Amino acid sequence: MNMTTANTARLLITCEDKPGIVQAVSSFLYHQGANITALDQYATEAQGGRYFMRVEFELDNLQSRKESLTQTFAANVAERYEMHWRLALVSDVKKIGILVSKVDHALLELLWRHARGGLPCEITKVVSNHETLRESVENFGIPFEVVPVNKDNKREAYTQIDELMQGNDLLVLARYMQILDEEFVEKWQMKVINIHHSFLPAFVGANPYKQAHEKGVKLIGATAHYVTADLDQGPIIEQDVERVNHDFTVEQLRELGQDVERNVLARAVKWHLEDRIIVDGNKTVVFQ
């Protein structure tokens, strides 16, 4: 961790849009001696809508000043504008756990990017319901655990997974082919990111690429979203598509689809780690 990272923080704000918010936040940071390095904002309406802001700034001795900074901001700015807000220090490296089954493309993309320094986090462990990917994961020096899941042991299995994943800030489903237990999802609310092919709900169940091929689709894609109790209905973070035509075989569709999946998931995870996402109901505001 370099000194710039040690003294960098991000402030994320949601509130009713009113005049003076930018001035109030900027003035507060100025009087604290902070230097704003990035500021993004979005309002849902020209007047009277919802307002969203992401501010990245640098401040000397940030670690020791965090508590007084948050207390002063809460009293002098946040309370006045009735803000929902959070302050994140870049030096507080987020910890993530990954859930996977047998398919490896999304998992290996995350592990490779992390090994290359492209994902600012600590990957604490990978949990799977199969032994298949143990060697691939352990080759990266990351612990691998197996928790079998079936229709008769779901509650016990997810209690065990919950215990294994304690201490993580985020869980990533890298093609984990199990439906999460509702109690588990409630405990990890807006802290689980999933990836799936964009054919849902049109092509549900096994072998969606075969179904897509039979229907002669012209677009394939993928969606990364936060997990909620409503299956595949959580707030969308990122999506992408690729054009295809009648020449594509099922295997070519699958290969291209997996390529889209791995990149969409990696972007969504990176944006979460960089505090670029604000959840607003069943939508997200993503500052890129």
Please tell me if the domain spanning 5-89 has the same topology as the one spanning 94-286.
Answer: no
Instruction: Give CA separation, 62 vs 17, 65, 66, 189, in Å.
Output: 29, 5, 6, 29
Tell me the pLDDT band of 229, cut-offs 50, 70 and 90. Answer: confident
pTM beyond 0.85, yes or no: yes
CB atoms within 10 A of CB 9: 24
Q: What is the pLDDT of residues 111-147, one digit of tens each?
A: 999 999 999 999 999 999 999 999 999 999 999 999 9
Beta bridge partners of 39: 55
Q: Which residue has the tokens 């756990």?
A: 97
Q: What residues have CB less than 8 Å from 70, skipping those under 6 apart?
A: 87
Complete DSSP assignment for 19-87: TTHHHHHHHHHHHHT-EEEEEEEEESSSSSSEEEEEEEEE-TTHHHHHHHHHHHHIIIIIHHHT-EEEE
Give the active site residue among 40, 232, 259, 280: 232
Q: What is the pLDDT of residues 34-81, one digit of tens each?
A: 999 999 999 999 888 999 999 999 999 999 999 999 999 999 999 999
Tell me the pLDDT band of 215, cut-offs 50, 70 and 90. Answer: confident
SS3 108: helix
280 classed as catalytic? no
Mean pLDDT across the chain? 93
Q: Which CATH number fits domain 94-286: 3.40.50.170, 1.10.3720.10, 3.10.50.40, 3.30.70.1350?
A: 3.40.50.170
